[in-house]
Chain A
Amino acid sequence: MNLAYYPGCSGLGTSREYERSTRAACTALGVKLTDIPDWSCCGSTPAHALEHALSGALSARNLVGAAKVGCDTVATPCPSCLSNLKTARHRMADDGFRAKVGRLLDQPAEKLADLPDVQSVLETLVTRVGLDAIRAKVRQPLAGLRVAPYYGCIMTRPADVMRFDDPENPTSMDDLLTALGAEVVPFPYKVECCGASYGVTRRDIVARLSGRLLGAARDAGAHAVVVACPLCQMNLDLRQTQVEWPGGRAVDMPVFYFTQLLGRALGVPDAELGLEQLCVDPAIAFRRAAQAVAARQAEEAALAAKAAAKAAQAKQAASANEGGRA
């Protein structure tokens, strides 16, 4: 398996910590990533909202680049890039569309087979490495950490293009987090949109949609939200101060990239995971987790003490009886 890696533009900026933690986690798991040489932007929403061939060409340039360095699969951490790259490849199965895209490129793809497959880093990890292998490498389980897994709306949809996990109720990240020792809370808004790139232009939309997600995580008793998307992360974390909290009750809700928690569980030093680059202090989540663990231990201890006391009492009574008879 020759895996090409497409970081996506935000990895160089607002999602640096995703980029760093992805590379660190992959290294820890022995997944070799070959960067696509001189990769370029996929065009994201602005391109596909303008014209599909343009969007296709911006994506295809990268797919062709990956093929050139002998890779059969491209992995990307960003669902928006994923969606564009996958959709481009999907549409290029149509000869007419492929020709149209080809006319825009310096080096077009001759045939569909020339284009590598595309998958998310999440998919790479759960399908290629496998949960068992990951579980075996966990050094520092995420004990006590209650997390709400949020996949975002486009990682699994539309289903016939994305072909990964369940489009309405994906579970791959749940399973991964569970394997890392975290406790996954039931979260009904796994694929509900956070407001996407409308933060700049229509803050009201993001405030409402992201607010609903954060509120649901809060109400489910999560210590943190875990995401796989730079845009979602930015909306939920950076813009957390802008959201409309349902019921008006704001909390501090740390928002991790799943790769950060993965790295942590695998024993990667925090410094390589960019935890300090999150806006809402991640320590809050770990503190809550530690409290939960402590509380549970205290409870267990109390129970044990009670049982011991009872046993002692019984013993005493028995010996008293014996004494009486004697």
Chain B
Amino acid sequence: MDVTNLESVRDDDFIHAVMEESGQDLTHCYQCGNCTAGCPCGFAYDIQVSQIMRNLQAGRKDKVLNSRSIWLCLSCSSCTTRCPNNIDVARVMDVLRHIARREGRVAERGVTTFWDAFLASVRKHGRVYELGVVANYVARTGRVWTDIDLLPRIAPKGKLSPMPHGIQGRDEIARIFQRYEEERTR
């Protein structure tokens, strides 16, 4: 592994952006590791959440935004709840996803594809149409076997609607997305 030059890897603008958007002061983190200690998803992370925090302090944009961890974070807030410095770590993770999405960096495609399918459904119908989301996800990822084993368990329960529940204000919702996209590209 290369030696990390702390001066040249440091991206102060990035640090500022994360602090600004999350409203959290990264310098408050004293690296006790409690967020990692309680993170239910740590076993699946490539960089533990406390090390994400440390990397943020060092301004290591690429390292953080290219990590898989930020996509696997479950937003469970146990880190936030237990941080001795009252840092809303989950919110920091959220903001990292925002920035990464803006820059088109996604290390866990499957996750964002599912989310995109979800939001597409909301945009179209105003409410999410579960079967449609899964179908869309399967179509986009080609993972045709996704949860096929659950089909016999759920099908007889008569819960999955064959049709979306469109709302009257569908257009209003579509406009929210539209304006959001305009704001973003502005």
A contacts B directly in the complex (CB < 8 Å)?
A: yes
Question: A interface vs B, CB < 8 Å?
Answer: 9-10, 12-17, 38-41, 43-54, 57-58, 61, 100, 103-106, 153-154, 157-159, 167-168, 191-193, 195-205, 208-209, 238-239, 241-242, 276-279
Asked whether B169 lies within 8 Å of A40 as measured between CB atoms, the reply is: yes
B28 at the A interface (CB under 8 A): no
Specify the chain A residue showing the minimal Cβ separation from B117. A46
A208, B130: Cα distance in complex, Å: 24
Question: B interface vs A, CB < 8 Å?
Answer: 40-41, 43-44, 72, 74-78, 80-81, 88, 90, 94, 97-98, 101, 108, 110-111, 113-116, 118-119, 122, 126-128, 130-131, 134, 137, 146-147, 149-150, 153-154, 157-161, 165, 167-169, 172-173, 175-177, 179-180, 183-184
Closest chain-A Cβ to B162's Cβ sits at a distance in Å of 10
Asked whether A199 lies within 8 Å of B127 as measured between CB atoms, the reply is: no
A153, B110: Cα distance in complex, Å: 23
Asked whether B72 lies within 8 Å of A202 as measured between CB atoms, the reply is: yes
Of B80, B101, B115, the contact of A45 (CB 8 Å cutoff): B115
A191: chain B residues at CB < 8 Å are: 78
Of A15, A40, A195, A209, the contact of B127 (CB 8 Å cutoff): A40
Closest chain-A Cβ to B141's Cβ sits at a distance in Å of 9
A-B contact list, 25 entries, CB within 8 Å: A9-B127, A9-B128, A13-B131, A14-B160, A38-B126, A39-B167, A41-B126, A44-B128, A51-B98, A51-B184, A53-B180, A53-B183, A54-B176, A61-B169, A61-B172, A104-B179, A158-B90, A195-B40, A196-B76, A201-B108, A201-B110, A203-B147, A205-B41, A242-B149, A279-B157
Known: A45-B115, A204-B44. 6 other contacts (CB 8 A): A41-B173, A45-B75, A47-B119, A193-B78, A201-B108, A201-B113
Specify the chain B residue showing the minimal Cβ separation from A101. B176
Say whether, besides A40-B127, A104-B183, A157-B81, A58 and B98 are in contact (CB < 8 Å): no
A241: chain B residues at CB < 8 Å are: 149-150, 153
A46, B116: Cα distance in complex, Å: 7
Closest chain-B Cβ to A43's Cβ sits at a distance in Å of 6
Asked whether A239 lies within 8 Å of B150 as measured between CB atoms, the reply is: yes
Of B77, B149, B184, the contact of A157 (CB 8 Å cutoff): B77
B40: chain A residues at CB < 8 Å are: 153, 192-193, 195, 209
